[in-house]
Amino acid sequence: MPEAALLQIDNAERVFGGGRTLFGRRLPAVHAVQGISLDVKKGETLGVVGESGCGKSTLARLIVGLDRPTAGSITFDGRDLVAEARSDPQKLARRVQYVFQDPVASLNPRKTIRSILEAPLRHLLGLDKAARAARLKELMEAVNLAPEFLDRYPHEFSGGQAQRIGIARALAADPELIVLDEPVSALDVSVQAQVLNILDGLKARFGLTYVFISHDLSVVESVSDRVAVMYFGRIAEIGPAKQIFAEPRHPYTHLLLSSAPTPGKRSLIPEDANTELPDPYAPPPGCAFHARCPRGTDTCLAAHPPLEPAPGQPSHLTACYHPIEGAGHA
Amino acid sequence: MAAYIAKRLLAAIPVLFGLSIIVFLIMAMIPGDPATAILGSYATPENVARLNADLGLDKSLPQQYLIWLGNLLQGDLGRSYALNRPVLDEVLERFSATLILAGTALVLCSILGLLAGVISAVRQYGLADKLITVLVLIGISTPSFWLGLLLILAFAVKIRLFPASGMYAIYGGGDLPDLLHHLFLPALTLAVVATGVIARLTRTAMLEVLRQDYIRTARAKGLTERRVIYRHAFKAALVSVIPVIGIQAGFVLGGAVYIETVFQWPGIGSMLVNAISTRDLLLVQGGVLVVAATYVLFNLAADVVQTILDPRLR
Amino acid sequence: MSDTAAPAMPARKKRGGGRPSALRLLLNNTLATTGLLVLVLIILIALAAPFLPLPDPDVTAPADRLLRPLADGHLLGTDALGRDILSRLIWGARVSLAVGISATLIAAFFGSLIGLVAGYAGGRVDALLMRGIDMVMAFPYILLALAIVAALGPGLLNALYAIAVVNIPFFARNIRGITIGLSRREFVDAARLSGKSNARILFGEVLPNVLPIIIITMSTTIGWMILETAGLSFLGLGAQPPQADLGSMLGDGRKILFTAPHVSIIPGLMIFVLVMSINLFGDGVRDVLDPRLKSGALTRPVARTAVERARVPERQPHKDNVLDVVDLNTQFHIGSSVYRAVGGVDLHLKQGECLGIVGESGSGKSVTAMSLMGLVPTPPGRITGGAAWLEGEDLFAVSDERIRQLRGADVSHVFQDPLSTLHPLFTVGDQLTEAIMAHRPIKRSDADKRAEELLRLVRITNPTERLKVYPHELSGGMRQRICIAMALANDAKIIIADEPTTALDVTVQAQILSLLDTLRRESNAAILFITHDFGVVSAVCDRVAVMYAGRIVETGRTQDVLENPAHPYTGKLIDCVPVLGQPERRLDAIEGRPPVVDNLPAGCAFADRCPRAQADCRAGEITLSPFGEDRAVRCLHPLERGAAHA
């Protein structure tokens, strides 16, 4: 491969709960993510798409070090990210940042915008007063907000403005990688477009790398170079965005694409199909999608399918024993 | 459900253990020498040493606790030196009187408090609401012991409607009407504060619930407003008020100390006050332990009721 | 695209940003102000005690014993030892206040610290601290204080410690609960990613948010603590002679209650006045600081939206329409501001038809829908104009009882979040049969059968079993099916669906949409479908109405509007939506933000953001004018056919 991966996740797993009680009884455990392997190259946008409970937010928290994997490894620019998150979280925070889903909840209601944006400058970069003032000006200009907003409190802002402040905060320490966890799903469409355009501009201007997490397929399609589709804590399919959207190989990806309502399209899928997720405390053996899958066979029940490349497309991997071949989605 | 109750009962055991440790420690941290306290300052050193050995006070603290706990489990709480009888006998005798008083007060404050709270919420900002709010405020600001004195002055001295003190009439009493006659004033006094607290929280809980989406759904279904309020909203509000009633059981049991003193009710509260002033510490210990254990059971009952009402807790 | 206009919520800004006005808010509350004045007066007198011309409170004068109030030289009389009661009262109040305040501060400090640390640290630290707190809480409150005093020996200082100790759990629990909630908030993660240490986050980010709660808890417990210390003194376990606090004065007086009641009544009254003033003031503080109370969140909505129509339209309903809404106006009155959430909406529904109302948040689409059956909360909402004819019957003119009969029968609702819209404490079966039995006199067993049929209708397998479960035991999609079943229970003519699939995952959404579509064709019910998503509109709606700032700006057949939007807002809005399969499409954002509906501009509300705006757009009322077949637009300079999607 010509360029080395900036971020490399190898077989990461995060289990919540588990352990034993005082009397040795097993406590219930949930695998939030399991067997996740992927890498993100410098300068690209990796879209991560999936429905609620698929583990995409857990994955996001693992990448920025807010949470730690229970197994597997994560390396950032050749260094062990998990170890660094423990030993020197500030060093990691200078290079990897995060934009939150709920723009208002991510701003402390009792702090001015100035003090929110100054925190990373002070604690991560150790800038002096003059340097901070200069950087604040730059940041506000970068996200298209008037500098007089600095002395206001978060409740005075609309969702779109608050999200731009959230982006400015992430940008403050001049990171290389930004994880965006559903950055526009709390926003109205017109505002969503504003924020997406700003993100686009910032990426080009500062040479950023994005991991863009969303449940909205069309948003992910419009921003991503590559896409990972997650289902029930695992990657179902990963590959170049164009290929995934044009020729989905995993039946789940296909279902997602055909379910998404599209303006001007009046096609409805059959309404009595099963949409229940498996019980996370008692996951079925083999492929978690089997119960909903039109192509499922007994093979799928035996063991979880490995991620394997499509013929002739080494970068397009699918975890399915019976992938859809050829034709694009209808 | 039976399994749940059993589980809760089991979970209460460590709490009871904790209680016993705290009670033991409080008594162990008493400054000075209990033997001297018991025998008086004129006791000879030999007598003091012998009593110390008798009481096991020459052993280490954990050892003392284990001995004490062993005796406790056999129902031996020691002897009250002031009354010269087993602590357990005295405590149990007194406890029934307290239970009658506190139980009545608890029932009274639950009913009145819930009623007032619901009315207040349903008629928010109306006359009834304002009146109840003011009454509640007065109720929780009044020292109960003072209120007791006022009631005695008014109803026992001035109009002689109720007796001023005691549990039964000295001559010819002893039946249920006589008990109720004596019970009325102290139970009412004891219930006042708790009624206020419950009414307040019920009002807030009802108002909170009435804004929930499922209340809008109930209305959208075309249910009558009566049904919306008294079935849908009240049940949900009750779930958050039940633990408060459990806590009020503690306030009522504790508040009995004042009320029993004021009305000379022969319960455990007045016993405790006397025991503290005579430094009859084993009696204090026994009384505190029994009342605290009762309170744990009250809370347990509140938990169980809450779980019956709310399937999400199961 | 830089926002230089004043940011959000000008209404809130007008009142000075919220914070500085806290004192003024407090003073607006008469009761709280009275409490504050009395309290300040008592404190001033107590502080001034050494300088006031009072007799020594501890000097006995047996000759003057038990003088009644208003006696010469003794305004409030004397006690059994001939001491001046007024003097003792003032000195006693001084002691009681000092003890009450100190106990509160001690309890608040240690309790809050434990609560903050336990709530923030979580895990083992939390478990350990809270088990300890639980132990202390396992004692009846006063009893523990009594036991502590019994051990330490009677005395004012010991009573103070005892009261402080037994109140620590109260603070610890309260503060822990709040802290846990705050520690999981995203701003804590954001602070961590800004390089802040745990201590900095706890005391710099979390504490400022907890502080109001600590103050509320203090202001509501201080009165209680004064009462309790007085109680211990009353029992002779607090202040020891000759020192007196209010409680010990009362305790002394009790012995001579029958002969000289004033000796006990006066200190009791003083305790009552003191505690009452503190509680009044404390309630005021709580009302000001508690965000729920501040936002009016604890106001009880009544059963039906208030109708105060300034004008009733003269136009009569069209007989083909099941529902005909004319000039609907709904307003929210909050403080002195009037929000015109719906400012003159006309719409109609034919039998079996699905009309979509699309708009962004704040456009008034939900309020429009909720106004019809009076489900907009009052206060603060009220319907101020227009009419809604349901088969010739004006919904805003009929009685409350008639509305109740129509709700859930002729007109039913499906709401957004199926978890919060179902009652958590009743089984699915209970809730379904209740909906049935509210409208027809049938036996419970028949209602049960009908409920089963309904579940089958919404494609729920194993209906007999499902009737017995509670909503939290079902998945989101299942719950929404239950809600749809409930809406179908009484063969509704109109189903009002308010964002019914917004809270659902995309694959579940697709199925719920198909289900709704099939069922409405089977039952021939009309649907009023509220959504923000043009994709959803395309999937199920025959016609669409686009709302902006409380008004319909464009309406027409779904395909016509989507393909050839006439209103510039519709056009721009469609351009904002990313479309699957067209990743290269440039997203065209709309500059600026919608106007706030308490301050609408004259003329077109969209004019400030519109590239086609001319002077006449801001001049006056613009009507919703016909624009081709089945089509209307509220614009003086509509887009040409085919001009959109350049």
- The residue of chain C nearest to residue A277, with distances taken between CA atoms, is C475
pLDDT for position C498: 94
- In whole angstroms, give the CA distance from residue C454 to residue C70: 80
Q: Which residue of B has its CA nearest to C438?
A: B223
Give Cβ neighbours of residue C153 (< 8 Å, ≥ 6 apart).
B31
What's the CA gap between A262 and A258, in Å, rounded? Answer: 9
Summarize pLDDT for A289-325 with one digit per residue, the tens.
988 888 888 889 888 899 999 888 889 999 999 999 8
pLDDT over 90 percentage in chain C: 48
Provide the domain count of chain B.
2
Question: Given this model, what pLDDT does residue B12 score?
Answer: 83
pLDDT band for B41, please (50, 70, 90 cuts): low
Tell whether the model's pLDDT for residue C645 goes beyond 70.
no
| Phi, psi of A237, deg, nearest 5 | -160, 140
Q: Tell me what ipTM this predicted complex has.
A: 0.90
Stretch among A218-227, B255-264, C241-250 having the lowest mean pLDDT: C241-250
d(CA A127, CA C330): 52
Per-residue pLDDT band for A259 (boundaries 50, 70, 90) equals confident
Does B152 share its domain with B267? yes
Residue A189 has pLDDT above 90, yes or no: no
- Is omega for the bond preceding C50 within 30 degrees of 0, making it cis? no
- Note whether B61 and B146 are same-domain residues: no
Distance from the Cα of residue C623 to its chain's centroid:
37
Question: Are residues C379 and C333 in contact, defined by beta-carbon separation less than 8 angstroms?
Answer: yes
Q: Residue range A135-151: average pLDDT?
A: 91
Contacting partners of chain A (3+ CB pairs under 8 A): C
Does C3 have pLDDT greater than 50? no
Average pLDDT over residues C139-149: 85
A-chain residues within 8 Å CB-CB of C532? 188-189
**The tokens of C189 are what?**
């993660």
CB nearest A255 (choices: C475, C507, C514): C507
Please report which confidence band the pLDDT of residue B57 belongs to, taking 50, 70 and 90 as the band edges: low
SS3 at position A23: coil
- Give how far C143 is from chain B: nearest CA, Å: 5
The reply to whether omega before A89 is within 30° of 0 (cis) is no
Domain end (from B22, B57, B86): B86
Question: Residues with Cβ < 8 Å from C410, sequence gap 6 or more?
Answer: C390, C391, C490, C492, C493, C494
Structure tokens at B133: 């709010």
pLDDT surpasses 80 at B119: yes
C298 vs B contacts (CB less than 8 Å): 204, 207-208, 211
User: Are C and B neighbours with ≥3 CB pairs closer than 8 A?
Assistant: yes
Rounded distance between C-alpha atoms, residue B300 and residue B5, angstroms: 9
Name which of A139, A194, A212 is nearest A169 in CA terms: A139
A115 touches chain C (CB under 8 A): no
Give, as one character, the DSSP assignment of residue C71.
B
Encode A270-293: b = buried (16+ Cβ within 10 Å), e = exposed: ebeeebebeebeebeebbbbbebb
Per-residue confidence (pLDDT) for residue C27, from 0 to 100: 73
Predicted confidence at residue C550, as pLDDT, reads 92
Chains touching chain B through at least 3 C-beta pairs below 8 angstroms are C
Tokens 């709580």 found at:
C286
Inter-chain CB proximity C272 and B225 less than 8 Å: no
Cis before C379 (ω within 30): yes
Q: Are residues B231 and B140 in the same domain?
A: yes
pLDDT by residue (tens digit) across C184-196?
889 999 999 999 9
- The reported pLDDT for the residue numbered C268 is 93
Per-residue pLDDT at C122 = 85
Interchain pair B157, C258: CB under 8 A:
yes
Tell me if chain C has a CB within 8 Å of the CB of A82.
no
Query: What distance in Å separates residue A191's CA from the closest CA in chain C?
Result: 7
CATH code of the domain containing B301 = 1.10.3720.10
In terms of domains, do B153 and B172 share one?
A: yes
CB C216 within 8 A of CB B242: no
Q: State pLDDT tens for residues C285-314.
A: 888 887 666 555 577 888 899 999 888 887
Mutate to test the interface with C, among B145, B155, B262, B303 (most CBs of C within 10 A): B145
Taking only residues 238 to 267 of chain A, the set having a beta carbon closer than 8 angstroms to any beta carbon of chain C reads 241-242, 245, 255-267
Whether residue A256 and residue C533 make contact (CB cut-off 8 A), yes or no, is no
Closest by Cα among C208, C169, C162 to C187 = C208
Q: How confident is the model at residue B74 (pLDDT cuts 50, 70, 90)?
A: confident
Count the alpha carbons within 13 Å of C242 in the hemisphere toward its beta carbon: 9
Shortest CA gap C23–chain A (Å): 18
Are A222 and C578 a contacting pair, CB within 8 Å? yes
Give the residue among A176, A243, A256 at the shortest CA–CA distance from A216.
Answer: A256
Position C207 pLDDT exceeds 70: yes
Identify the bridge partners of residue A16 per DSSP, sorted by sequence position.
A30
Other beta carbons within 10 Å of C75: 13
Interface of C with A in 188-207 (CB under 8 A): 189-196, 200, 205
B27 interaction partners in chain C (CB closer than 8 Å): 151
Which chains touch C (3+ CB pairs under 8 A)?
Answer: A, B
Cα–Cα distance measured from residue C330 to residue C368, given in angstroms and rounded to the nearest whole number: 8
Disruptive mutation site among C4, C360, C419, C580 for chain A (greatest number of A CBs within 10 Å): C580
AA identity, residue C569 = Y
Residues B149 and B271 occupy one common structural domain: yes
| Closest to C602 in 3D by CA, of C618, C614, C613, C616 | C618
User: Which residue on chain C is closest to A171 by alpha carbon?
Assistant: C194
CA A255 to chain centre: 20
**Cα C593 to chain centroid, rounded:** 26
For C20, the token pair is 């500085």
| In the predicted structure, residue C142 carries a pLDDT above the cut 90 | no
Break chain C into its structural domains and give their ranges: 29-115+150-174+210-293, 417-491, 554-585+598-645
Query: In the predicted model, is pLDDT for residue B250 greater than 70?
Result: yes
Per-residue model confidence as pLDDT tens digits over A13-46: 999 877 666 566 677 788 889 999 999 999 999 9
Q: What is the mean pLDDT of residues A44-58?
A: 91
* Per-range mean pLDDT, top range of B62-66, B134-138, C26-30, C415-419: B134-138
Considering the domain architecture, whether residues B120 and B226 belong to the same structural domain is answered as yes
Report whether pLDDT(C383) > 90: yes
Residues 198-227 of A with CB under 8 A from C: 215-219, 221-222
Q: pLDDT for C325-350, tens place per residue?
A: 999 999 998 878 888 999 899 999 99
Residues C187, A269: C-beta atoms closer than 8 Å: no
C438 — contact with chain A (CB < 8 Å)? no
Residue A231: strand, helix, or coil: strand
Residues 133-192 of A with CB under 8 A from C: 144-146, 149, 152-153, 155-158, 160-161, 166, 169-170, 172-173, 188-192
Cβ atoms A144, A202 nearer than 8 A = no
Contact by Cβ (8 Å): B242, B306: yes
Q: A192: which chain C residues are within 8 Å (Cβ-Cβ)? A: 576
pLDDT per residue over B181-220, tens digit each? Answer: 899 999 999 999 999 999 999 999 999 899 899 999 999 9
**Tokens encoding B241:** 């008020």
Return the HEC string of chain B: CHHHHHHHHHHHHHHHHHHHHHHHHHHHCCCCCHHHHHHCCCCCHHHHHHHHHHCCCCCCHHHHHHHHHHHHHCCCCCEECCCCEEHHHHHHHHHHHHHHHHHHHHHHHHHHHHHHHHHHHHCCCCHHHHHHHHHHHHHHHCCHHHHHHHHHHHHHHHCCCCCCCCCCCCCCCCCHHHHHHHHHHHHHHHHHHHHHHHHHHHHHHHHHHHCCHHHHHHHHCCCCHHHHHHHHHHHHHHHHHHHHHHHHHHHHHHHHHHHHHHHCCCCHHHHHHHHHHCCCHHHHHHHHHHHHHHHHHHHHHHHHHHHHHCHHHC
User: Both B49 and B130 in a single domain?
Assistant: no
CB-CB under 8 Å, B143 with C420: no
Interface contact C153, partner B, CB < 8 A: yes
Across the interface, of C515, C534, C581, the residue whose CB is closest to A271 is C515
The per-residue pLDDT of chain A, averaged, comes to 88
% of chain C at pLDDT higher than 70: 94
Within 8 A of C258 by CB-CB distance, chain B residues are 157
Which residue on chain C is closest to B224 by alpha carbon? Answer: C404
Residues B182 and B65 in one domain: no
C502 touches chain A (CB under 8 A): no
For C133-169, letters b (16+ CB in 10 Å) and e give bebbbbbbbbbbbbbbbbbbebbbebbbbbbbbbbbb
Q: For residue B49, what are the domain limits?
A: 2-86
B111 shares a domain with B245? yes
Closest residue in C to A116 (Cα) is C191
Domain end (from B86, B110, B142): B86
Q: Which residues are CB-contacts of C314 (< 8 A; sequence separation ≥ 6)? A: none
> What are φ and ψ of residue C310, in 5° steps?
-70, -35
Q: DSSP class of residue A12? A: E
Q: Which of A64, A51, A66, A55 is nearest to A14 (CA)?
A: A55
Residue type, C498: D
Q: Tell me, what's the pLDDT at C2? A: 42
Q: Do chains B and A touch (3 or more CB pairs under 8 A)?
A: no
Residues B252 and B238 in one domain: yes
Per-residue pLDDT, A328: 46
Q: What is the pLDDT of residue B17?
A: 86
DSSP state of A110: T
**pLDDT at residue C467, rounded to an integer:** 92
